[in-house]
Structure 1
Amino acid sequence: MGLHEYCGRTEYSIIRFTFKVTADIKEKMMQNKLLHKDDIVQYLHRQMDRYFKKFNMKPALLQTYKNEVLNSVMFKLKVSRI
């Protein structure tokens, strides 16, 4: 049983998005395109808004997913800088 079978399509897709956007932000940081935390957060919000448009879910659930993605990405970026 794979991860996509265990957690479902939506959750698996969100997990893949989280890893993809984290790698994208790390790459932009290496290129000095994103320098400050505010820039990173603003970029991340734009990417999340664009990504979550395709989902048809209740606003409370949508906000929960967005918060989890934001927390996960920011944690991964903080850990990777140590």
Structure 2
Amino acid sequence: GVWCGGMLESGIGRAHNLHLATLPNFKYPNDLSASARYYQEDLIEPPIVLSRPGYIRVPEGPGLGVNPVPERIERATLRKEIFKP
């Protein structure tokens, strides 16, 4: 089996982890929690929430099922690098 999870991902990483944790060989999903556990405001909408104690629904919809919020990402950005060909 494979372990999956992590404490400090933003909602973008957390959505990836939730989707991965549902695959057959991921036997040890761990440290998957609601957005509000570590962040007052996550970088995504809708936030990841507990559907009931101990359970999180995998986001549904196109892609990861969550949408990055550009204004929140901008506020959380410490440094930008521009790469040109």
Quick check: which has more Rg, 1 or 2? 2
TM over 0.5, yes or no? no
Q: Which has the higher contact order (CA 8 A, sep 6+)?
A: 1
Flag the structure with higher strand content.
2
Flag the structure with higher helix content.
1
